[in-house]
Amino acid sequence: MLRKKDTKQQVVVSGNCHCFSGWKGSRCEELDFLPVISHTGLQLSNNTSTWGGSVIYRQGMYHMFASEMVLQCGLEYWTTNSQVIRATSKMPYGPYKKQQVILPTFAHEPNVVEAPSGEIVLFVTASPPPSRVITPIDCRKSNGRSRSPQKLPQPRDTYMLWAFHPEGPWSEPVLVFNSSQWNADYWNKTHKLVWCDSNLNGIILNDSSFLGLWRRCETANLLTIPHRLWASNWKDPSTYQPHLEPLFVLGGSGSEDPSNIWTTRTSDVGLAYHALWHDEQSTRCMLGQCSANGRHAFSLDGVSWRYANTDAYNETIVFENGKTIRVDTRARPHVIIDPTNNQLLALSTGVQLDQTSGYVWTLVQPLRRSSFSMGKKKKVST
């Protein structure tokens, strides 16, 4: 939200605020969606689940990095059957077509950011290290309904790898966030050790430093509380410093799944930092109940963040043919950014229609007033 017009960004008047393109509401906290275009996003054949799509643009192509559940398993098997894939589309909304496997099982929730030196940097959750492969579970033998059995919980550490081209070659993954040190707690119902993935995402700044956002499962009630992380050099794991002070005080379970951070330039204070979070103030995904809404947060210095009071998106999804659906879960938000003017083009989220099936897919929904609209140039008013 900005109260002064930025000459380098498109803005529209909404209530008492000047909203950047793609936003609406009296405080510019709601995403201004267009209907979902049919057969877009990432939906693989044979009822194969995908979860969340992080997207960059390179040389006329949009590249999405997403989680794929192998052997036609649902999301409940993510700790054994998730692998990281790359899919491409000439349009930001898709449809995206799978091109390659970046990391085999187990690897999950990829978040892609770009370095000013040209590298494509991928943060992933994995255990054991991505250089080893976990044999996936054949969930078809149990009709795909039961949760993946685990004798002991596995650490869900965060690794980083990079490449100069989306198709690679990729560097060897390096550990940047140790769950054993920063993100382990005791489950208050079973008193067994439970490992919590950090959801690490962020932005690499022009000086090669990394501003990150992560969530911590606070003891003993598995509250997922947002925190920040700072690294003086994104390529040097020894400089990654997680901060334990919460970004904001929230009810319920807080929030998780921070999106990629994007920036806007203000006319008075310089850069503003923005991110979306999957809001969990009424649910607890760690206990099997997930919500379908997300909220916007912003910061003027990267340290102090303000969390919105209203949802940026919710469970209601409208399609261009007039059909409306309400999903049970909508999480893993990522914004897709127009490389020509830094405006928001679309929102990518992982969605689950209901809990009767573990099937999930990656939805991409366009935003109003973006410079692209279904492949055609569109005028943007200020």
* Phi, psi torsion values for 204, nearest 5 degrees: -95, 125
The reported pLDDT for the residue numbered 142 is 60
Rounded mean pLDDT, 2-10: 36
Q: How confident is the model at residue 331 (pLDDT cuts 50, 70, 90)?
A: very high
Are 80 and 137 in contact by the 8 Å Cβ rule? The answer is yes
The reported pLDDT for the residue numbered 193 is 66
pTM to 2 decimal places: 0.90
Tokens, residue 47: 């009822």
> How do 344-352 and 361-366 pair as beta strands?
antiparallel
More confident site: 336 or 147: 336
Percent with pLDDT over 70 in the chain? 85
The reported pLDDT for the residue numbered 69 is 97
Rounded mean pLDDT, 30-35: 97
More confident site: 217 or 74: 74
pLDDT in tens, 231-256: 999 999 999 999 999 999 888 889 99
Domain-wise residue ranges, the chain: 11-377
The reported pLDDT for the residue numbered 102 is 97
Rounded mean pLDDT, 270-288: 88
* Phi, psi torsion values for 381, nearest 5 degrees: -85, 155
Mean pLDDT, the chain, rounded, equals: 86
Q: How confident is the model at residue 190 (pLDDT cuts 50, 70, 90)?
A: low
Q: Among candidates 95, 56, 60, 123, which has minimal Cα distance to 334?
A: 56
Instruction: Among 119-133, 285-299, 362-376, name the one with the lowest average pLDDT.
Output: 362-376
More confident site: 36 or 223: 36
Are 118 and 164 in contact by the 8 Å Cβ rule? The answer is yes
pLDDT in tens, 101-114: 999 999 999 999 99
The reported pLDDT for the residue numbered 180 is 77
The reported pLDDT for the residue numbered 219 is 63
Residue 382 has pLDDT above 50, yes or no: no
The CATH-assigned architecture of domain 11-377 is: 5 Propeller (2.115)
Q: How confident is the model at residue 355 (pLDDT cuts 50, 70, 90)?
A: confident
More confident site: 369 or 321: 321
Distance from C-alpha of 85 to C-alpha of 179, rounded to nearest angstrom: 23
Residue recorded with tokens 């192998």: 70
Are 215 and 227 in contact by the 8 Å Cβ rule? The answer is yes
Enumerate residues 6+ apart whose C-beta is below 8 A from 161.
Answer: 103, 121, 122, 124, 130, 170, 171, 172, 173, 174
